[in-house]
Amino acid sequence: MTDLPLSMDRQSPPLRRSGWTRTWFGTPLNSAITLVCVATLLFLAKEAIGWLFLHATFEGTPETCKAASGACWPFLTAKLRYMLFGFYPYEEQWRPLAALLLFFGGALASMAPSLWGRALLAAWAFVLVPALAVLMAGGVFGLAYVPTTQWGGLPLSFMLAFIGLAIALPLGIGLALSRISAMPAIRMLAIGFIEVVRGVPLISILFMATVMLPLFMPDGVTIGKLLRAQVAIIIFAAAYIAEIVRGGLQDVPKGQAEAGSALGLGYWLVMRKIVLPQAIKKVIPPLVALFIGFFQDTTLVTIIGLVDFLDTVRSAMRDPAWQGIAVLEGYLFAAAVYFVFSALMGAYSRFLERHFRTTQD
Amino acid sequence: MAWINDARYRAVFYQVLAIAAVAALTWSMFATASANLAKQDIATGFGYLSRQAGFVISEAAIDYKPTDSVGRALLVGIANTVKVSLLAALFGTVVGFAVGIGRMSRNPLLQRLMLSYIELLRNVPLLLYLLFWYALIINVLPPVRSALTIGPHVYLSNSGLALPAFSLDGGWVMPLAALVAGLGMAFAVRRVSLRRRLATGRVNAGGWIALAVAVLPLAAVWLAGGLAVTWDIPEAGRFRITGGAQVRPEFVALLFGLALSVSATVAEIVRAGIQAVGKGQWEAASALGLPRRRTMRLVVLPQAMRLMVPPLTNTYLTVFKNSSLAIAIGYPDLVMVSNTVMNQTGQAMETIAIFMAVYLGLSVAISLVMNWYNQRVALKER
């Protein structure tokens, strides 16, 4: 064969060097890439170190911060408690802190797949959640009552995200089952709900919950703003969870359900004992990834006037004493907090993916 | 009583029950709402759309003045939403492809740098980024009187970006027609040259001819005098910049934030698509003597495109919905204009219904366009 049908202009085979020179400087282009990357990194490092440490103010007042060109650390120390807990009564702020720590402990323990089971679910439902509610709201055991209107900051963000997911998960599974149901009317209702919720932005559902939900309530019934936002987040999350679970359900071979029916099991037993366990296992990693998104999306409640973590950080920056001085500091602090939690959950999602890949079959 | 255990009757019963429950819920909500509205003396119906809006919209993609109707104001919101989403999707896709390919580089430094870019964008809420960019523009950029000059007659200050604008004296029709004709001809030339190259195996000058053909009609129009351009140059004054095209800081922050978030998602999609193409494709191309970059462009990316279309569709739908975060920084998109209308008229139900319907409709439209593209690039099974 002398003539290739599609011949490129002839080129000699690339030179093969070995070791690190090839990795970093294999071709002229590669060398250029390495140099540009190094230059970028050095520039960023110089700017960051200069701003964070060299030109920064570590102690002092807003005035000393204003004079210096670097970061303003006193802002963080002065405003830390407000940013974390919002308007929660100052002397009671150990309670949201304890609730956060308890929650982190529980969440950390629940991360091990070997612990998953009924006992863990019961522990959350009957021990952890009541304890968290008592810590936050009070009113019993000599703890002063704190209404939800005073809740704020990081505990609120976590609460919206986790309660949202905990309630949306069963709803989403139900929606997914309805969506692939053999009954056309139920399927259509589910499809309609899922597609409408997924087709509109979260902010519109939040608006609906804040503006329209009160209109739908009979006389004398009022629901707090926090609850309304929570309902909106649950509705939103359920539709997205339903689509992910549906993917898992469709991945389970049809023969599984048929074998179950052949054994004489009814629809619910087949689903509960055979299909759902396999489907859920498949979709746990994407569900965790989805949850990272929800955690970040809870920031939207600041638009409808709830005092979540992003909102407390912003109002700390708007404090007349610090106005216009600590803009970068505030946002970077908030970004760092969101980054740490999101990145941790992302790492956990990747761990689960590996874990299930090895334990399956 | 055998019929009670018959699956068919049960199915009908459950479905009737479900529909009845939904209908009852909807009816009771509607009844309560209309009773509540009547009590609060709020009008219902869509009559308010033709009333005079009476509020200013700081930035309008289509002509608008406060004396226009409420419906027109909502239309301005829709146009603004579409404008910022389209631009963000466009810029984000271009940057995302570059980052995604850089992420697959064999240079570990570039690979890690791109990874940190993606991680930084994906792990921080978009709303925080939008507020951050906006605060950066307002607080860190200099005021108008000491605006940064970042090019001839391009000024950047904390009240936005000022660019030279141009208008065509002879109208847009002729130049646009020439441009379209040129592009169409170039496309035809390229097809012919590609077919000839596949047949003969010889490289031809098709690319250059196509380029020449593309600009030929436009050049002809220009020579005939149909392309007289008037420039509107921004002038930096003491307190404000006059003339030119002024881009407001809200728009810059929103576009920048949305485009960056799209780019991170697109980069991950590109990476996944490239990784999904079999290793054998790389090896086969390498065995044929193709260098790595050409393998990527001619062998791997075309195959990866197929896998990337469905997730890209989702990304575009997301950016379109995320543009609603504009309300947080004050860019007058559909949600923000609707919010103003709601506050003025009190007719929340109708206004929310309108903007939800618009979002749903446009979402369906985006899905349709992307499905059409998907069918074009999908594997043709014969």
Give how far A139 is from chain B: nearest CA, Å. Answer: 34
Residue A9: predicted pLDDT: 61
Q: Where are the alpha helices (H) located in B104-156, listed in sequence order?
A: 108-122, 126-140
Residue of B109, B111, B112, B196 for testing the chain A interface, max A β-carbons within 10 Å: B109
Q: How far is CA B152 from CA A47, A143, B164, B165, B229, in A?
A: 28, 66, 9, 12, 18
Contact predicate B48/B345, CB 8 Å: yes
Q: Do A199 and B18 touch (CB under 8 A)?
A: no
Q: Give the separation between CA A349 and CA B165, rounded to whole angstroms.
A: 49
What average pLDDT does the segment B2-13 reach? Answer: 75
Residue of A nearest to B362 (CA): A199
Give how far A323 is from chain B: nearest CA, Å. Answer: 11
Band the pLDDT of B380: cuts 50, 70, 90: low
* CA A360 to chain CA mean position, Å: 27
Residue of A nearest to B199 (CA): A5
Q: Which residues of A touch B109 (CB under 8 A)?
A: 24, 33-34, 37-38, 41
Pairwise pLDDT comparison (A92 vs A254), residue with the higher score: A254
What average pLDDT does the segment B214-222 reach? Answer: 82
Residue A119: predicted pLDDT: 81
Of A6, A201, A310, the CB nearest to B324: A201
* CA B14 to chain CA mean position, Å: 43
Q: Report whether pLDDT(A358) > 70.
A: no
- Residues B176-188: tens digit of each pLDDT: 888 888 888 888 8
Give how far A243 is from chain B: nearest CA, Å. Answer: 13
- Residues B14-29: tens digit of each pLDDT: 888 888 888 888 888 8
Residue A130: predicted pLDDT: 81
- Amino acid symbol at A329: E
Q: Which residues of A touch B291 (CB under 8 A)?
A: 11, 14
Q: Do A24 and B107 touch (CB under 8 A)?
A: yes
- Residues B96-141: tens digit of each pLDDT: 999 998 888 888 888 889 999 999 998 899 999 999 999 888 877 7
Of A9, A14, A339, the CB nearest to B203: A9
Contact predicate A256/A313, CB 8 Å: no
- Residues A35-45: tens digit of each pLDDT: 888 888 898 88
- Residues A146-192: tens digit of each pLDDT: 777 777 788 888 888 888 888 999 999 999 988 888 888 888 888 88
A117: tokens are 């089971």
A257: tokens are 């359900």
Q: Do B15 and A185 touch (CB under 8 A)?
A: yes
Q: Do A212 and B352 touch (CB under 8 A)?
A: yes
- Residues B302-356: tens digit of each pLDDT: 888 888 888 888 888 889 889 988 888 888 888 888 888 888 887 778 888 888 8
Q: Where are the alpha helices (H) located in chain A, listed in sequence order?
A: 20-25, 28-49, 62-67, 73-85, 94-110, 118-123, 129-137, 154-179, 184-199, 202-207, 213-216, 225-251, 254-262, 267-269, 276-297, 309-318, 327-359
Q: Report whether pLDDT(A361) > 50.
A: no
Q: Give the separation between CA B348 and CA A210, rounded to whole angstroms.
A: 10
Q: Do B327 and A5 touch (CB under 8 A)?
A: no
Q: How far is CA B63 from CA A122, B44, B75, in A?
A: 60, 28, 10
Q: Please compute, for residue A351, the number of CA atoms within 13 A of its CA located in the half-sphere on the CB side.
A: 9
What average pLDDT does the segment B224-240 reach? Answer: 71
Residue B93: predicted pLDDT: 93
Residue A1: predicted pLDDT: 44
Of A186, A211, A327, the CB nearest to B15: A186
Q: Do B109 and A38 touch (CB under 8 A)?
A: yes
B331: tokens are 């860019």
Give how far A186 is from chain B: nearest CA, Å. Answer: 6
**Of the candidate ranges A192-201, B272-281, B301-310, B367-376, the one whose mean pLDDT is the lowest:** B367-376
Q: Report whether pLDDT(A90) > 80.
A: no
Residue A340: predicted pLDDT: 92
3-state secondary structure of B236: strand
Of B107, B324, B348, the CB nearest to A34: B107
Axis crossing angle, helix B249-276 with helix B108-122, rounded to the nearest 10 = 130
Residue B128: predicted pLDDT: 92
Which ipTM did the prediction report? 0.84
Contact predicate A281/A352, CB 8 Å: no
CB atoms within 10 A of CB B8: 8
The neighbouring-strand residues paired with B167 are B230
- Residues B159-210: tens digit of each pLDDT: 778 877 777 666 777 778 888 888 888 888 888 888 888 888 787 777 788 8
Q: Report whether pLDDT(B280) > 70.
A: yes
Residue B261: predicted pLDDT: 92
Whole-number percent of chain B with pLDDT over 90: 12
Residue A311: which residues within 8 A CB-CB, separation 6 or more? A86, A152, A301, A302
Contact predicate A74/A65, CB 8 Å: yes
Q: Which residues of B touch A203 (CB under 8 A)?
A: 324-325, 327, 335
Residue of B nearest to A196 (CA): B360
Q: Which residues of A touch B31 (CB under 8 A)?
A: none
Helix (H) or strand (E) holding B34: helix B7-39
Band the pLDDT of B284: cuts 50, 70, 90: very high
Band the pLDDT of A8: cuts 50, 70, 90: low
Give how far A211 is from chain B: nearest CA, Å. Answer: 7
Q: Give the separation between CA A190 and CA A175, rounded to whole angstroms.
A: 6
A140: tokens are 């019993």
Tokens 């054998």: give the residue: B280
Q: Give the separation between CA A126 and CA A56, rounded to whole angstroms.
A: 48
Pairwise pLDDT comparison (B352 vs A134), residue with the higher score: B352
Query: Which is nearest to A293 in space by CA: B261, B144, B146?
Result: B261
Parallel, antiparallel, or unpaired: how do β-strands B245-247 and B235-236 relate? Answer: unpaired
Tell me the whole-structure pTM to 2 decimals: 0.82
Q: Give the separation between CA B318 and CA B363, rounded to whole angstroms.
A: 9
Q: Do B322 and A33 touch (CB under 8 A)?
A: no
